[in-house]
A and B are shown apart, each in its own frame.
Chain A
């Protein structure tokens, strides 16, 4: 009975939409839904639908990766895939990093629209520079941070009609053995160590990174003497280093 009623209802619905001014839209929807499936069925009836995304296919950042956070290892793998021009991997990186880069730029004093534009530029640079990423030299988040920081500075220069600063000479900064130990795995520990700082020290380290202000301005914003700001930074950094070295 249920099946018969349902099919009757379906038929009435089809007749209904055929008589409305939305007919064209419904037909278009139907074709949009059916056409790729028909084409796919005629080519390879055994393959699962939808086919895996290929170059030029639509890639959505939402469907690409729904896990809430990417760990450092997954990020490094994604960047390697992006270096091989994998758009699906790029979508996952975009989803993870673009909103964080935008938040960073906003904190550095950019307007929302400006931050949006520069965040897109940063992701474009991630795509273009992916080949130069070396997981042995540091974590992916470190690499993206450096790109975002330089893009922020170059954006400010462009607004003042100035040329960008010359790119850093990669050869002049050949990794030494100690730098190599700063691998992705260590970056995760760094975050843990950061949480172990006193709230005062955390606040000042974060302000140093994210407020586009020299230490003197931080001092006046927090109503502290400049010497106190500097000594808090020193203490915080010394503590971080101790925490990291203990954890080895």
Chain B
């Protein structure tokens, strides 16, 4: 049972195509597994269609139609897609990565702290995004951090808990830039897909080096 969904304004931005690519990927991964959000997204896209109908038309150049007509018979360009490199992540039995990750390059697990591993996800169509898979061992915590921008997290396996609640498989968490949190995996450990804008901030580190958090 999915308890945590994207906020309405996030789904609206997804329908409008204004989310950053990394966030859009996490929302797409959530929607693929969530019937309620599929319905909501269909509704919002219908809203987009209704708004499109209402726009004051802007005339095209007189020759635009003839130009398009002349191109109708040209074959659609074939885009050759290279199979992205996806490392074998040795996922738990029965767990498959969301279909939204099909075109993404996925790096191998890297150790980033006790019980915490990280795999870089690179989107060829948005290489600058900060997207990752996280694997947290049972009862381990991620370093306390806040974000330069919002962080979206989709739980793929297990559960994690932070100050805002407990998130299980299929749940999506939205952490604003003002939320400083320290997610902790529960008994099964946790694997999740996360995208963040503006990088991670480590207040304790800046305190340590004498700055102010």
Contact = CB atoms under 8 A, between A and B. Distances in A.
Nearest to B67: A120
Interface residues of B, number: 55
B68 to A, nearest CB: 5
Contact of A209 (B20, B51, B53): B51
A137 B67 CA distance: 31
Contacts, number: 186
B47 A209 contact: yes
A97 to B, nearest CB: 8
B163 interface: no
B125 A187 contact: no
Given A94-B68, A106-B58, A152-B17, A209 B8 contact: no
Interface residues of A, number: 78
Contact of B46 (A91, A116, A162, A187): A187
Interface of A: 59-61, 87, 90-91, 94-95, 98-104, 106-107, 115-116, 119-120, 123-124, 127-128, 137-146, 148-150, 152-153, 157, 162-166, 168-169, 172-173, 176, 178-179, 182, 186-187, 190-191, 194, 205-206, 208-215, 229-230, 233-234, 237-238, 240-241, 244
Contacts of B71: 120, 124
Interface of B: 7-9, 12-13, 15-21, 28, 32, 35, 38-39, 42-61, 64-65, 67-69, 71-72, 76, 79, 81, 99, 102-103, 123-127
Contacts of B126: 157, 162, 165
A194 B50 contact: yes
Contacts of B61: 116
Nearest to A192: B50
B52 A145 contact: yes
